[in-house]
Amino acid sequence: MTIDASESGLLIQTLNEMPVGAHLDVEVLFPKEFEFANFKAAAEIIWRGIGYWEDWEGYQYGLRFNQISKGDYLKLGRILSNPSCLKDAYLIEGPEHHSTLIVKAE
């Protein structure tokens, strides 16, 4: 789940355990009726903490964007004007510990 977003990165909560320093591909998906296309960025986990939610325990991660195109950075700025549209996030594990974080926007 995406907790917070900024121009420099994301705060997420997940059950997945990942090491600080891990690199993730971030892909933000928008519904078809949204006014612009999906975007992608590369991010690095810069901190990790334990998160407690109701009756389960997981992890919180601070992600810093390391690579994002100028066009996608402009899209990010528009999203940040309404951060409540970033609702759901999940990880797709790839080969050799390369993961993609998928964030769905509403």
Q: Is the pLDDT of residue 19 over 90?
A: yes
Judge contact between 18 and 97, C-beta under 8 A.
Answer: no
How far is Cα 65 from Cα 86, in angstroms, rounded to an integer? 16
Q: What is the pLDDT of residues 60-93, one digit of tens each?
A: 999 999 998 888 888 777 777 766 666 666 566 6
**pTM attached to this predicted model:** 0.73
User: What pLDDT shows up at residue 98?
Assistant: 62
Report, as an integer, the average pLDDT of 3-16.
83
Residues 6+ apart with CB under 8 A from 45: 18, 19, 20, 21, 22, 23, 24, 61, 62, 63
Classified as helix, coil or strand, 13 is strand
Domains of the chain, with CATH numbers? 2-105 (2.40.10)
pLDDT band for 47, please (50, 70, 90 cuts).
Answer: very high
Q: Is the pLDDT of residue 16 over 80?
A: yes
Take residue 72 and report the two structure tokens written for it: 């996608």
30 or 17, higher pLDDT: 17
Judge contact between 63 and 46, C-beta under 8 A.
Answer: yes
In the chain, the amino acid numbered 50 is I
